[in-house]
Amino acid sequence: MKAITFVNVSVVGPDRSGAIAAITQKLFQLGANIESLEEQVTRGKFRMNLLASWKADCLHDRRVKTELESVALQLRMKLALRLASGACRHRRLGLMVTKETHAAEAILREWKSGRLNAEPVLIAGNHPQMRTLARRYGVPFQFIDYRDRQKAETHLQDVLEKAEADLLVLARFMKILSPDFVWHWKNRIINIHPSLLPAFPGASAYRQAYDKGVKIVGVTAHFVTPDLDQGPILCQDALRLRPDEPLESIIQRGQKLEAACLLRALKLCLNRQLDVHWGRVHGV
């Protein structure tokens, strides 16, 4: 049996009649088989994700990219393509960071030790001092200026595509990604949140837990969706608080838990075939 190559195609832009037909007909002309398709229209914005497949020796990726980009240009839409099968190579990771390094370093140390079936190909951050972290591990760094989110995400999408990233890991990245950006990376963005979601979403989760006087705090690794901190959960972990434990100690212990839980979630994504149905991850 000949090998099959799968390609994820995502399209975002103004809602236009015939958009689905234009993309799918072009894929048919290019010899593709449509494996799955999901589309959504919200407030005049069209978003579509589809999985196309070719026999491995029948995929001419440059032609596919050029011709689909031409269709997207006519529709005034943004298109992104990514190989969906990692069987022929290590999965390629984009890591996003802000100021804290503990989560990213856990992944980078595991990679350097040879225990991670993936390769970090880019570290992107909204603080230039994170370049030091990237230099220490020999990974390219890209500063992303997030003062204008639309420009920042256009820049980020470009550098991730050039790096041929398969998965995006938010290693304590403290900016909110737009629905359009998330749609291009549906079920391919992993985040670590410092609480047992759905409790204490949003910012300052440890402070929220401390102020409420909870006795157990935890962390949650989840796929990112347009709804803040509401994505399908990959794994969780928790720790019991000591009597009168100060907030600083809770944060310090929680950060160790964050790093371990994020790394475990990443390995689940790399080593297992996971499906997401009705907001739940199956196969974990």
3-state class percentages of the chain: helix first, strand second, coil last, to nearest 5: 35, 30, 35
Say which CATH topology domain 92-282 has.
Answer: Rossmann fold (3.40.50)
The torsion region of residue 162 among left (phi > 0), alpha (psi -120 to 50) and beta comes to alpha
Q: Which candidate, 226, 269, 244, places its Cα nearest to that of 93?
A: 269
Over range 40-44, report the average pLDDT.
87
| Amino acid 159: pLDDT | 95
Chain segment 78-132, per-residue pLDDT in tens: 998 887 654 445 789 999 999 999 999 999 999 999 999 999 999 999 999 999 9
Of 103-112, 198-207, 226-235, 264-273, minimum mean pLDDT range: 264-273
- What's the confidence (pLDDT) of residue 75? 93
Residues annotated catalytic, as ranges: 229
Burial of 102 (0-12, 13-18, 19+ CB in 10 A): middle
Helix H or strand E segment including 205: helix 205-212
Instruction: Please give the CATH number for the structural domain made up of 4-83.
Output: 3.30.70.260
* CA distance linking residue 33 with residue 53, whole number of Å: 5
Edge to edge, the sheet with strand 233-240 lists: 141-143, 118-125, 91-97, 167-170, 189-193, 216-223, 233-240
Q: Are 18 and 59 in contact (CB under 8 A)?
A: no
Residue 217's CB is within 10 A of a number of other CB atoms, namely: 26
Domain boundaries, the chain: 4-83, 92-282
- Per cent of the chain over pLDDT 70 is 95
Query: Residues near 213 by Cβ (< 8 Å), separated by ≥ 6?
Result: none
